[in-house]
Amino acid sequence: MNQELLQLEPKLVWEKFSALNAVPRPSKKEERVIDFMLAFGNSLQLETFKDGVGNVIIRKPATPGMETKKRITLQSHLDMVHQKNNDTQFDFDSQGIEMYVDGDWVRAKGTTLGADNGMGVAAIMALLESDSIPHPPLEALFTIDEETGMTGAKGLQGGVLQGEILLNLDTEEDNEIDIGCAGGIDVTAKGTYKEIAVPKNAQGYQLTVSGLQGGHSGMDIHRGFGNANKIMNRLLNVAGTTGNIGIVSIQGGGLRNAIPRESISQFVVTDKQDDKVSKAIKNLATTIQKELSHTEPNLIVTLKKEDVSKKCMEKEAQRKLINAVYGAHNGVFSMSAAIGDLVETSNNLARVEIGNGQIKMGCLTRSSVESSKMDLANTLKAVFELAGYTVALSGDYPGWDPNPDSEILTILKKQYELLFKEKPEVVACHAGLECGILGNNYPELDMISFGPTIKGAHSPDERVQISSVQKFWKFLKTILENTP
């Protein structure tokens, strides 16, 4: 364990976070962290079990004198987003996260930190282990696969949970109390193309877009960050209109819920216009860097000569691909008319994979309005189908409708004001929270979401604020003491 982290307050929370981050826990590969949580609950001699899909539930009796209070379900997800810098050597399947303290922040060395949602998991673990914190009957729900489909929440059957109030510990600003969230749907386009032989005298190139901030495709989608897939497409387009090029491969972006930070393409110039193509790419790269100078000061575009495959994409397929990526909406689609400054609908063009005659592109479309979500998903579907690709809509999950009259919301607002001498921000967020899904099988469950301040989630710049964790922990303990 990182000894520097273990000296931070609250020590029990940081101890649990360090232990959790020593366990590899990628989405859809949670076997080890499930076993870790089961062993933890059993070591405390608490009622501990796993449901049919892999969610872990641990129950703890109330402290003396609080037995008649409403049972609280504390909920966080076990999996984390795995992203790393290109120059970072790291195996997420076998290594624990390497953390360090940077002033008032905890970061990871070149990878995502896992504070989303590891800080929530660690706080719940600390509550379960502590014998000095007053609390009503507690039920901990640790869900799996939140980041790539929310299949844990979707698979949780009705009748398993016993709580009357659910505290979801998965938001990222410590002055906010969340009462609603967006739903989402995956849009996946696939196609094939004819490969043609590269002329003998063609010059090969590798083009790289890097240095972008990335970030959470819900919480950060309005910040104007660059999308590596969109930038790459602009550069390849200018190359193709300046000279004769043939695309060999593109590998851009990664997970659907992460704004793509990097893209690498290989192409050939077949008409001896190498110098003109190179100059056009560099000129446009300078223009894009100026456009994004405020939001992406570290954007890097590199072009170098390189031997590439002997086959490339035929010209008509290439034209359709570039047009499809141009036509696919990326970023904010509409703002909410009901809630100020809330993104209503957006899309993240998350992944572009081209090579060996195969095309695959992936998007995550989000909205707090179901009809708008499907409208944008169908817009994307139409664009991709016009290019001749097959399109699948999958992984659909609902949003969480705000309830401004919630009993637990009233309690949280009151306790926040008493503790911190200011009013909290009551918000709905553009991220996907599991509350909307859980509410389908537990419609009477009074739900709320809050958490410590986390910046750069879903990117290697992810960090959690130490002083905010202290604030969050104080708030959480106070809530448990004052529930009905």
Q: Are residues 45 and 153 in the same domain?
A: yes
Residues identified as active-site: 79, 146
Q: Are residues 217 and 295 in the same domain?
A: yes
Higher confidence at residue 399 or residue 42? 42
* pLDDT computed for residue 148 by the predictor: 87
Taking 80 as the threshold, does the pLDDT of residue 315 lie above it?
Answer: yes
Q: Are residues 320 and 333 in the same domain?
A: yes
Which residues are paired to 394 by β-bridges? 186
Out of 72-76, 350-354, 457-461, 477-481, pick the least confident.
457-461
Q: Give the domain range for residue 225.
A: 185-397
Q: Are residues 174 and 212 in the same domain?
A: no
The distance from CA 40 to its chain's CA centroid, rounded to whole angstroms, is 27
The CATH number of residue 145's host domain is 3.40.630.10
Domain boundary among 351, 377, 397: 397
Q: Whose structure tokens read 């929530």?
A: 120
Q: Are residues 214 and 156 in the same domain?
A: no
Q: Are residues 411 and 393 in the same domain?
A: no
* pLDDT computed for residue 163 by the predictor: 97
Out of 321-325, 341-345, 473-477, pick the least confident.
341-345
Q: Determine contact, residues 369/430, Cβ cutoff 8 Å.
A: no
* pLDDT computed for residue 320 by the predictor: 98
* pLDDT computed for residue 401 by the predictor: 86
**pLDDT band at residue 227, thresholds of 50, 70 and 90?**
very high
Residue pLDDT, tens place only, 228-257: 999 999 999 999 999 999 999 999 999 899
Taking 90 as the threshold, does the pLDDT of residue 382 lie above it?
Answer: yes
Measured between alpha carbons, how far is residue 198 from residues 112, 151, 193 in Å? 39, 44, 15
Region 170-184 average pLDDT:
95
Q: Whose structure tokens read 């502590």?
A: 130
Domain boundary among 379, 397, 415: 397
**CA–CA distance, 289 with 298 (Å, rounded to integer):** 9
Q: Are residues 354 and 445 in the same domain?
A: no
**CA–CA distance, 31 with 97 (Å, rounded to integer):** 17
Q: Are residues 174 and 203 in the same domain?
A: no
Taking 70 as the threshold, does the pLDDT of residue 1 lie above it?
Answer: no
* pLDDT computed for residue 265 by the predictor: 98
Q: Are residues 133 and 266 in the same domain?
A: no
**3-class DSSP state of 20:** helix
* pLDDT computed for residue 338 by the predictor: 79
Residue pLDDT, tens place only, 351-375: 999 999 999 999 999 999 999 999 9
* pLDDT computed for residue 77 by the predictor: 98
The CATH number of residue 371's host domain is 3.30.70.360
**CA–CA distance, 138 with 483 (Å, rounded to integer):** 12
**pLDDT band at residue 3, thresholds of 50, 70 and 90?**
confident
Q: Are residues 351 and 408 in the same domain?
A: no
Domain count, the chain: 2
Q: Determine contact, residues 262/209, Cβ cutoff 8 Å.
A: yes
* Residue 183 φ/ψ, nearest 5 degrees: -95, 175
Encode 318-338: b = buried (16+ Cβ within 10 Å), e = exposed.
bebbbebbeebbbbbbeebee
Mean pLDDT of the chain, nearest integer:
96
Domain boundary among 397, 413, 442: 397
Residue pLDDT, tens place only, 57-112: 999 999 999 999 999 999 999 999 998 988 899 999 999 999 999 999 999 999 99
* Residue 323 φ/ψ, nearest 5 degrees: -65, -40
Q: What is the DSSP string of 377-437?
A: HHHHHHHHHHTT-EEEEEEEE--B---TT-HHHHHHHHHHHHHHSSPPEEEEESS--THHH
**pLDDT band at residue 144, thresholds of 50, 70 and 90?**
very high
Residue type for position 2? N
Q: What is the DSSP string of 432-445?
A: --THHHHHHH-TT-
Q: Are residues 350 and 454 in the same domain?
A: no
Examine residue 55 and say whether the peptide bond preceding it is cis (omega within 30 degrees of 0).
no
Residue pLDDT, tens place only, 401-443: 888 899 999 999 999 999 999 999 999 999 889 999 999 899 9
Q: Residue 359: which of 479, 207, 188 has the closest Cα?
A: 188
Region 290-304 average pLDDT:
98
Tell me which H or E stretch contains 477. Answer: helix 466-481
Q: Residue 453: which of 106, 96, 182, 141 has the closest Cα?
A: 106
Percent share of the chain, pLDDT over 70: 100
Q: Are residues 324 and 456 in the same domain?
A: no
Examine residue 199 and say whether the peptide bond preceding it is cis (omega within 30 degrees of 0).
no
Q: Residue 160: which of 138, 183, 141 has the closest Cα?
A: 141
**CA–CA distance, 398 with 377 (Å, rounded to integer):** 14
